[in-house]
Structure 1
Amino acid sequence: MSWTATARYGLEPAPGGLAFVQDLLNTLSAGKPRELDLLQTADDARAWLDQALRSWSGVTHRPAPGIELTAEDVEGLRGFRHDLVQSLHARHGDPAAEPRPGASVLTLPTALRLDEHGVVHAEPRGTGWRQVASLALTEVYQAQCTDTLRRLKSCRNTRCQTAFYDRSRNNSGVWHDVHVCGNAANLRNYRARKRAGADRA
């Protein structure tokens, strides 16, 4: 499947439908040099969403919902993305997590459908950005139930914040790429310790 937002950071997608959530998070402008915000304009957002829904359908083997995004929806979708990023930080105990001014608990409609094989599916409802958010939160909830959500993380580098799926055995990863963000952070810490030692001497 082609998860365009996640692929541009050279990352593997999260398993199943959780990759949709990761891809939404990775529409942010991040990296070095910085990639474009894929939700900058309505056309950008529609192009991203069309591809993401095709990929979601491919990994879940379910038909993609038809979602129309207006220019007004894009602002709402960016606000939802911000809240989702902050929830990742809060989940992993990051004191830098900052709720968006005016943000509140988000309640979105979802339908439960029993299929012919006896399997219950949660289906997003609403329109525009709210339908996108309903789909994303459905996948977040399902990942909570399977205990895979704890592996979806935001890079600890505050200049990056790329969303990655931690595949380490003990779930200890903190950088989306240890060679890019990890080395830079370790170098900064080393220099700070060296300066502190020089000041004490």
Structure 2
Amino acid sequence: MSWMATERFEARTAPGGLALVQELVNTHGVTRFGADLLADLTTARHWLSGAAGQWAQAHGLEPPELSLPATDLDAVRELRTAVKGMLEIPPGERSTGPFDASGVVLPRAQAHLVADERGRVAILPAGTGASWLASAVWSEILLAQHDGSWSHLKLCRGPRCRTAFYDASRNGSAVWHNVRTCGNMANLRASRARRKGAGQGPGE
């Protein structure tokens, strides 16, 4: 079992359950890496089953029994779009601080708060299909915003890539999901542009 959407891009995986958020974004299709995993119901069901199992394993839980009816497919795609939009915001510009209930509040999902015999509290997703996924994804974003890992989840700078990756660099300066692919391609284009510019004389 693996994070199949993220691994095909050879991107650094986010820690723990935050990888589910990254995985959802990375179901998008990129020509040189793979097709859209939410393009049809069959591939979407296969992806959700694997992702839910991997999420459960990360938390030491039993894999949830999920179904994804055809009517849920658009909701999963809309969730992906919403999360990707959040990651489009540069880490330094993302809102921090306490939740502000004085503005517009968008209902996103429901979840269960549970406690073990030692009083440790956890959030468990509620529902099934798209509702389970939304519950798990928003719960993981909440936890990541509180522990600081949210700012490390980014989108690749490559305009035709935009793959989600986890920036584990010391100064948080990484911009490519994979330096060997998108990074090298960008550097090659920049080098060609510089050589072309250097070859033009004044007035050309």
Between the aligned partners of 2:135 and 2:10, the Cα distance in structure 1 is: 27
- Cα distance, 1:137 vs. partner? 1.0
1:86 aligns with 2:81: no
Name the SS of the counterpart of 2:37 in structure 1: coil
Deviations 1:123-178 (A, max 9, x none): 22244312201101101111111101111111010101111111111111000111
Q: Highest relative contact order (Cα 8 Å, sep 6+), 1 or 2?
A: 2
Name the SS of the counterpart of 2:124 in structure 1: strand
Would the alpha carbon gap of residues 12 and 186 (structure 1) be closer, same or farther in structure 2, given more than 3 Å must change? closer
- 1:9-24 aligned within 5 A: 9-24=9-24
Matched-pair identity in % = 40
Match of 1:63 in 2: 62
Q: Which amino acid aligns with 2:129?
A: G
- Cα distance, 1:72 vs. partner? 1.8
Match of 1:109 in 2: 110
- Cα distance, 1:93 vs. partner? 6.6
Match of 2:156 in 1: 155
Tell me the TM-score normalized by structure 1: 0.85
- Cα distance, 1:27 vs. partner? 0.9
Between the aligned partners of 1:194 and 1:105, the Cα distance in structure 2 is: 50
Match of 2:97 in 1: none
Point out where structure 2 has 5 or more consecutive residues left out of the alignment. 94-104
Q: Which amino acid aligns with 2:41?
A: A
Aligned length: 191
Match of 1:99 in 2: none
Point out where structure 1 has 5 or more consecutive residues left out of the alignment. 95-103
Once structures 1 and 2 are overlaid, which stretch shifts more, 65-74 or 163-172? 65-74
CA contact (8 A) 1:69 1:128 kept: yes
1:6 aligns with 2:9: no
| RMSD across aligned positions (CA) | 2.2
Larger radius of gyration, structure 1 or 2? Answer: 2
Name the SS of the counterpart of 2:118 in structure 1: coil
Once structures 1 and 2 are overlaid, which stretch shifts more, 185-194 or 42-51? 185-194
Between the aligned partners of 1:58 and 1:170, the Cα distance in structure 2 is: 30
- Cα distance, 1:34 vs. partner? 3.8
Deviations 1:77-112 (A, max 9, x none): 011101111110124379xxxxxxxxx945211221
Match of 1:130 in 2: 131
Between the aligned partners of 2:136 and 2:60, the Cα distance in structure 1 is: 15
Match of 2:101 in 1: none
